A and B are shown apart, each in its own frame.
Chain A
Amino acid sequence: MEGLERIVLEHPFFAGLGPEFGAAISGCARNLRFAAGEYLFREDEPANEFYLIRHGTVALELHAPGQPVIVIATLREGDILDAAWLVPPYRWTFDARAAELVRVLGVNARCLRDKCEADHDLGYELMKRFVGAMGERLRATRLQVLDVYGTPRS
């Protein structure tokens, strides 16, 4: 597992994380690969795994009846796939499609949740990083929603 631990600690999301935590996380982790076009997960499926993108692009999609699929964001190397696994009801809220060959670190959600309950320091380290990442995502989403390049509203 030593290689996996190194991979965990090298991922940008875990920058600054103490090595003792790296061991805990890698104990729940595995390397995964998705081919272009494959879906990592679909909306409403149980969110069992926390993904960290190591390579490649993942498109987040929403579908609506009578409409072509809408891509709402693309995430790349260094980004994480979501926090839905962290809080109930533990369900994905969008589809995630590999836009090209994608390599991710997959961390088992239950395993990691249990370890965070047992070690609150680990939990806090993860929470800090999540809040930062989600805050960034929210800011970007707000700007996106404004449709600033569209026809100006009166």
Chain B
Amino acid sequence: MVDAKLAIEQDGLQRIIDALARRGYRVIGPTVRDGAIIYDTVTRLDELPVGWTDQQDGGRYRPKWRGDGALFGYAVGPHSWKRFLHPPAERLWQARREENGFAIVESEGAAEPLAFIGVRACELRAIAIQDRVFLSGRYFDNPYKIRRDQAFIVAVNCGQAGGTCFCISMDAGPKVETGFDLALTELVEEGRHLFALDVGSAAGADLAKDLPARPATEEEIEAAERVVARTKGQMGRSLDTDGLKELLQANPDHPRWDEVAERCLTCGNCTNVCPTCFCTTIEDTTDLVGAAAERVRRWDSCFTLDFSYIHGGSVRNSARSRYRQWMTHKLAHWIDQFGSSGCVGCGRCITWCPVGIDITEEAAAIRASPEGSRRDADGGA
């Protein structure tokens, strides 16, 4: 892996976008829309949230003007990169009826390759987690693999932490370590505005050749490190992960589940904004005359009643059981299934919960009074 410390001026980012577009990428980056900083196709620097930051807390999100011209001066918004790598709706195949039955036509993979601008450390970790979900099992997801292999990632070291961030607790940031092609650290201070640029891959090195980049100075490298250190100290939340898996798996009947169920609306916002939630449903449909059919995969949420439906009823009928499933899966079962926690500490679920339920607070409450009601291997209590 090539690793070089370079620097480019602020407008060098436009050159990055142009170089990617020339190579056939659809460039996706942050932009302000509908009162939030979301991810969409960008072509020009002025489409980015220049001078904007965000204020986040439980159930609260507000973009705020910071006025210093920073391009990445915010934390994360309701979108995550999963909406591009693992789209909300995807047609898997089409079929047409034939005399002797039917024939399947498999959908082609992704259209153009995607380039992501502004991927945070927590988001890189989330992508790596979804890689394990979709690519490391016996059956891998082909459309995901195609999009993933083709994706070009320009990461960004966070210049400030968000109000609900706790990536440090999950060992998922704030510094980007691996999994990127290029990484930027924005230095907006002392009358200068430039980016320290790290090259993280051969593709990144190749693109860097097209950029007006120069080797970074010692001082610039140190300034970049100070940015990361400052962010580290700003975390809005924290989560004690020590023994957390065992704690949650041993407490399925903890009274806290009843307590949170009184607040939880089972709206599924958390699963929607979470960058690692991957659950889907499959829809088989046909046209009106029954000559053509298709199968579409759509995002789904474990908070719906349909999700666990068998034989005339839902296994998880109560809000209590559904919240318990989401949180226990995310922080505990995920480790058994995929070898790491499913949480990256991005805080989105806290911010976007309409009633401000805070996963770190729930975990702390259970930890404060564990019941230890785990059943033994004999099935007794």
Contact = CB atoms under 8 A, between A and B. Distances in A.
The answer to whether A binds B is yes
Interface string B298-325: 0000000000000111000000000000
A46 B313 CA distance: 46
Interface string A141-154: 00000000001111
Interface in A45-104: none
Contacts of B312: 151-154
B313 to A, nearest CB: 6
A153 to B, nearest CB: 6
A8 B311 CA distance: 48
Contacts of B313: 152-154
B306 to A, nearest CB: 13
- Tell me the interface secondary structure of chain A in the complex: loop
B184 to A, nearest CB: 55
A154 B312 CA distance: 5
Interface size class of A (residues with CB under 8 A): under 10
Interface string A125-154: 000000000000000000000000001111
Contacts, number: 8
Interface string A9-25: 00000000000000000
A2 B265 CA distance: 74
A151 to B, nearest CB: 8
A152 B310 CA distance: 9
A46 B22 CA distance: 98
Nearest to A151: B312
A153 B313 CA distance: 8
Contacts of A154: 312-313
A111 B313 CA distance: 53
A21 to B, nearest CB: 34
A144 to B, nearest CB: 19
A152 B313 CA distance: 8
A72 B297 CA distance: 48
Nearest to B311: A152
B309 to A, nearest CB: 10
A152 B311 CA distance: 6
B308 to A, nearest CB: 14
Nearest to A154: B312
Contacts of A151: 312
A150 to B, nearest CB: 11
A147 to B, nearest CB: 13
A135 B311 CA distance: 30
Contacts of A153: 312-313
Nearest to A153: B312
Contacts of B311: 152
Nearest to B312: A152
A119 B187 CA distance: 96
A154 B313 CA distance: 5
Nearest to B310: A152
A36 B75 CA distance: 83
Nearest to B313: A154
B167 to A, nearest CB: 44
Contacts of A152: 311-313
A153 B312 CA distance: 6
A151 B311 CA distance: 8
A153 B314 CA distance: 11
A113 to B, nearest CB: 39
B193 to A, nearest CB: 63
B310 to A, nearest CB: 8
Interface string B116-144: 00000000000000000000000000000
A55 B141 CA distance: 62
B373 to A, nearest CB: 24
A112 to B, nearest CB: 37
A146 to B, nearest CB: 13
A151 B312 CA distance: 9
A140 to B, nearest CB: 20
A153 B311 CA distance: 8
A153 B156 CA distance: 54
A38 to B, nearest CB: 43
Interface string B351-371: 000000000000000000000
A82 B311 CA distance: 37
B376 to A, nearest CB: 23
A122 B311 CA distance: 50
A147 B63 CA distance: 58
B235 to A, nearest CB: 47
8 contacts: A151-B312, A152-B311, A152-B312, A152-B313, A153-B312, A153-B313, A154-B312, A154-B313
Given A152-B311, A153-B312, A153-B313, 5 more contacts: A151-B312, A152-B312, A152-B313, A154-B312, A154-B313
| 7 nearest A-B pairs in the assembled complex, by CB-CB distance | A152-B312, A152-B311, A154-B312, A153-B312, A154-B313, A152-B313, A153-B313
Interface of A: 151-154
